[in-house]
Structures are given as structure tokens and as C-alpha cells.
Amino acid sequence: MLDILGKRYIFFAISLLVIVPGLLILAINGLPLAIDFKGGSILELRFPSGNLPNTESVVNLYTELGFKEVQVQTAISANGQRDLLVIRSPFIDDETKIKIVETMRERFNAPDIVVNRFDSVGPVIAQQVTERAALAVAVAALAVVLYITYAFRGIPHAFRYGVCAIIAMIHDILVVFSLVGIGSIFFGWQMDSLFLTALLTVVGFSTQDKIVVFDRIRENSTIYRKLPFEKLANHSIVQTLQRSINTQLMTVEFMLLALALFGGVTLREFAVILLVGLFSGTYSSIFVAAPILVVWENQEWKTWFRRQATA
């Protein structure tokens, strides 16, 4: 039988290697918040002729109009051509947007500019979105603890199962944040409403996987009562391993991979975040949640420093 729990500290180290670099990037550069969370406007323009202006000249145009902290990026459209200009700026209204587009047409000699997208969010709305997003995650975490504690009330330390599920769920959230932190450096990713949708989806799938694994541990605890808890948990993980991998790969991961590769620029970031986040949910159910439960049951932290002193 596979000894998964015997290598639990290796899996903990792997998780740290994935999470820490991205969090360091976020700690240094700050959260790459989109206009959905901090307020502002995003203007996406398509140049059918393909003659994109220099990004610095676009920033200078906004500066002349009195706007600071303007970010300009080029992107590839659905036809495979790099003919998109994505501009993020402080809040602007429709009249200012029309003025900016008309000025670009004259200055850059591009009368065929097409406005693909224009969104503006005020600072009040952005603050409400941020608060409700945090509240949604907090309520979901509390509901998971209460549900697992109630459903597992027939076994000892039922509360620990809920807490371990939340710790593993936080692990998946940190993986998503780390991914976006790295993506913000290399691909200019930002945390917008689609990011929030992907994050809540990851939380839901992650919780589902962990309940499946914990429920098998609960069932086996009534059958193998004399078996040490670590062996019982390892046996339960092996029993659910094939189901977790097959279900995740066949129903979700392959579809998201296809969406990330062929779904276009608009959905690529969303698909990649879901792809990695749901994979992390399956990984943490097997290699994080159950091992943390075993560490808690064995109270292994009491021997960590003792082993170092002995060595």
C-alpha cells in the first residue's frame, strides 16, 4: 500500500515552495487590484490596421489630460494578431472616453480604432465589492467548520476535521494568490471580478474534495477501530485516491486546459487560475488536509524541537 502520510513533511515543503515566491512578490509589489476593487476605468481598443502606438505615447496623452497612474498594455485578439491596446486609468466618464478615442484617432492617424470594452467603477462600489468578497469567503469557511463538526459528531474530535479542512482551503487560496502574484509580473494579471469568481469556485471544489476524504476516514474509523490513526487515514486516502484524480481530471481539468489554450485572451487568466486552483484543491485534500489531521492527532509538534535538540 502507498505510504502517503509517511512523506507528509515533503508535501508540506512542496506547498511552501509553491506559495512563498508568489506571496513575496505580492508583499513587495502589493496586490495587483483591478478597477473592480480599487475603482477606475479600463479601455480596450482594437487597431484593425495593426499599427499600435507606442505605450509611452498613450501614457503621455493621458498625462496631458490630467490623469496619472495609467497602465498601458498590448494584447493579442481572437484572430491571433497583436492589435489590442488595454488602458487602465483612474475613473473617467463617457464624455472623457470619447475625447480620448478621438484624440488617439487624430494623433496616431488611426481612424479605424474600435472600442472593444469600456468599464468604469467608482471607489465606493469598489470598496463594497472588496468587503463583500471577504465576507463571502469568511461565511463559507464558517459554514464548512459548522457542517463538518455536525456531520462528524459521532467520532472523537470532530471539530478538528473542520479546522483541518479550513487550513487546507486557506492553502488553496494562497496558491491562487501566489499564482496571480507571479502572473502579475510576467503577464500583467490583475485581481478583478473574474478572479473573485474563480477563487470562490476553488473554495467550493476544495471543500467538496476534503469532505470526501474525511468522510472515508470517518467510515473506516468505525470498521478498523484498533488500527493506529495514521494507518487508518492512509488507508482511507488510498481508497479515495483514484476517485479524486479521475473525477478531477476527466470532468474539470481537461476542459479548463482546453479553455486556457484555445479560449482567447479574455478568458485565459480565468481558466488558468481555475485550472491551478482546482488541481490544488485535489492535491491539498490528499497531501495537506489529511496529513495535518494526523499531525494534530499525534500532537507531533511536541517532538519537533525535541528531535532538533537530540540531534
- Percentage of the chain surpassing pLDDT 70? 94
Confidence of residue 12 (pLDDT cuts 50, 70, 90): very high
Q: Contact, 87 vs 43, CB < 8 A?
A: yes
Q: Where are the alpha helices (DSSP H) in 192-287?
A: 193-223, 229-248, 254-262, 265-284
Confidence of residue 127 (pLDDT cuts 50, 70, 90): confident
Provide the edge-to-edge strand list for the sheet that holds 114-121. 71-75, 84-89, 40-46, 114-121
Paired strand residues for 115: 45
pLDDT of residue 307: 53
pLDDT digits (tens, 9 = 90+) for 229-256: 899 999 999 988 887 777 776 678 888 8
Residue 271 has pLDDT above 60, yes or no: yes
The mean of the pLDDT values for the chain is 85
Q: Decide if 5-34+125-310 and 40-120 have a common fold.
A: no
Residue 172 has pLDDT above 90, yes or no: yes
Q: Does domain 40-120 have CATH number 3.30.70.2040?
A: yes
Confidence of residue 122 (pLDDT cuts 50, 70, 90): confident
pLDDT digits (tens, 9 = 90+) for 29-56: 998 888 777 778 889 999 887 778 888 8
pLDDT of residue 181: 94
Dist. CA 163–CA 149, nearest whole Å: 9
Whether the model pTM is above 0.85: no
Mean pLDDT of 112-132: 80
Ranges of each domain in the chain: 5-34+125-310, 40-120
Dist. CA 33–CA 189, nearest whole Å: 9
Mean pLDDT of 284-303: 88
Q: Does domain 5-34+125-310 have CATH number 1.20.1640.10?
A: yes
Q: Contact, 128 vs 37, CB < 8 A?
A: no
